[in-house]
Structure 1
């Protein structure tokens, strides 16, 4: 199977990267943090809609771009890299279902967290699979850019696999970005008269971060091509681990500096914690993988 990107796919990724660089660079990220807990920029949301972010997989006959999951994971990876806030996955899944979602005129959230929790409920125009937005109570969130609410609702089962894969793509983007942050800081910070990146322990941390991120990215790309539920579960597991463990290792490279409000790495860690609980948790992903492996082991084809 050939996972090399086509020119059209590279163009799609470059287009969304340029859009986000111009509209949600580091200054915008810090401004959003300072303005929390209302981080969704409606103007940017509409620009994303105009660029096809939400309508990417809608058929052209329905006003969409007419692309597929492989292209979707590319643009979500870029969104994860810059920590773009908001219910991106739910709004993308709602395109063609909820009026205004495809164009970015509507912000759509979903009950994608375990338990009676939903993100961005206070800013949402609709909730995926529900006739109206329920009343909720704000609760404290680890991530300042992911406000959480306690409310009653359910997640439509049919969206879970795609939601998990797109969330995994967000995690991959974050994991790759923390590799960049760690390597950059290791090249700048000096100890004993030389950059800390020259020390073997720091080299090993950075190399392990890169390996985890690249393995997760490959798994996400493969699941986007095959659409296999078990591969999607594996991709979510690997991407969550790459994002969470990568952010922790990046903090280790930064030392005490990484825990300060001025550094971005702690934002990546907090977002990774929340995403790891969205759409499909590690426990549920492991159960699905075990079920798939067991079914394969006992199938007649496997026995033959």
Structure 2
């Protein structure tokens, strides 16, 4: 913003924060944490009179009106899925992405949101940093994927002829079996008994160790289409993982292990509680 003001340009750059799709309560806590940091450390909220934060989520639109205008007061937009096709906000210049519980693939459509020039008729700016888009993420690598639907899908609409009479169909349903998507309470006893039989406690090193994580750091490219997995290895750094991030990684590990069979929050919680119980008694 200061760079634009120094150049006498009336543009309020926009930060896009893409939250992971909701798979459980951990994503809700992440959003709460992001909004708390924006409010406490930067004075950015959705509150009337502030209006610096906008939210574009399913069933929740806050301060989204005229957010595309270059001089709009909104400084940060929180969303999950890529904004609607055709949505254009040239002042969007920074994209914040969080690590998800599954492998992350960059969408050209998503990255393209921050690659437009806010004043295309004037071309590039003399102040070079204004000519770049920026991605802030805790990923350790990236993979670029073209949007699969582009130029490949054609939609045809068919309608039922009026000459046909209405059709009545019998509805059938099966009784819901919760045990098919949820671990039973017996899981804890079975796990602890199996762990004892296998001598699992003797195979685990529980000594406290510092955990580090590799992150992309100060990497840039002139052509996003040439970027791909493995191309940022020389632009990475190590940082110590704190308790909050360590808890999130553990949550992701449990959820990823259960995703094909028991994906519900209640089951994830049961597995975590079981592991805690095992570690506290061994």
Using structure 2 for the length normalisation, give the TM-score.
Answer: 0.26
Larger helix fraction of residues: 1
Using structure 1 for the length normalisation, give the TM-score.
Answer: 0.25
Larger Rg: 2
